[in-house]
Amino acid sequence: MEADRWIDRVNAQKTHLPEIAELAALEVELRAQLKSLNDAQAALKPVRSAYEESQREGDRLRARAVSLDTTLGNSTANARELAALQTELQHVRELLERSDDLELERLIAVEPLDEAVSAIRAAAQPAVARRSELQVAIGELQAGLDDEMTALRAARVETASALGPELLARYEAAFARVGTSGASQIVSGRCDGCRIALSPLDLDRWKVQAEGSFMACPECGRLLLP
């Protein structure tokens, strides 16, 4: 009975470690932070794409302006061709000025969104680190409990070997029905397995049972120890 109760306690402890409860709460927190991060990234993505497009357009216009300027500086073309080049250069420079203004405007829009993403990631780092610590701790604790369980089960086998086959069969049958243990004690007139009070008649029967015999609890069927 004691061996089975200890096995049950250790088995329950494996799934009720304080670290497991802390990890579960931490996972809820991290899921909330992940949602915030996804929302912030979703808000940032189109604004950053627009900014990068402005950068590419600015680079294209600058390259065209340099090319036109170089061509004008080295050109031996006639006056009409030179005028056309000069007109195009002026137009490109005007476009570039507007492009630079737009790029700056979009950069100003990107920066707070980028900072929000970085802030969420930074805020999540301690929780991510703690989650890793808890996962390692839980693994180690459960491995220790598994070792303890192995020792307890070996001790149970040794203890059970000392029982007669008939008594052992009755105990195992009761254990299979109710779990935890196949026997119980009477505490303040109650079976400490099912917590149900025995009737006065059943208590009297339990008190006068013959040595070596074991009465079953009328409620749960556990063998009542003398």
Distance (Å, whole) CA 176 – CA 105: 74
Residue 58 and residue 99 in contact, taking contact as beta carbons nearer than 8 Å: yes
pTM > 0.95: no
Question: Do 13 and 36 share a domain, yes or no?
Answer: yes
Residue 203 and residue 194 in contact, taking contact as beta carbons nearer than 8 Å: no
Question: Do 122 and 211 share a domain, yes or no?
Answer: no
pLDDT band at 29 (very low <50, low <70, confident <90, very high): very high
Q: Cα dist. 29→18, 24, 35, 124 in Å?
A: 17, 9, 10, 9
Unique residue bearing structure tokens 């105990």 = 171
Its domain, for residue 200, covers 165-224
Q: Cα dist. 31→28, 116, 200 in Å?
A: 5, 17, 57
Question: Do 94 and 145 share a domain, yes or no?
Answer: yes
Question: Do 117 and 184 share a domain, yes or no?
Answer: no
Question: Do 143 and 177 share a domain, yes or no?
Answer: no
End position of a domain, from candidates 138, 160, 182: 160
- Structural domains in the chain (count): 2
Question: Do 49 and 152 share a domain, yes or no?
Answer: yes
* CA 175-178-180 angle, 5° bins: 65
End position of a domain, from candidates 119, 138, 160: 160
pLDDT band at 145 (very low <50, low <70, confident <90, very high): very high
For 103-132, how does the pLDDT look when each residue is reduced to its tens digit (9 = 90+)? 999 999 999 999 999 999 999 999 999 999
Residue 172 and residue 178 in contact, taking contact as beta carbons nearer than 8 Å: no
Note the helical H segments in the chain. 2-15, 18-74, 79-160, 165-178, 200-207
Distance (Å, whole) CA 103 – CA 101: 5
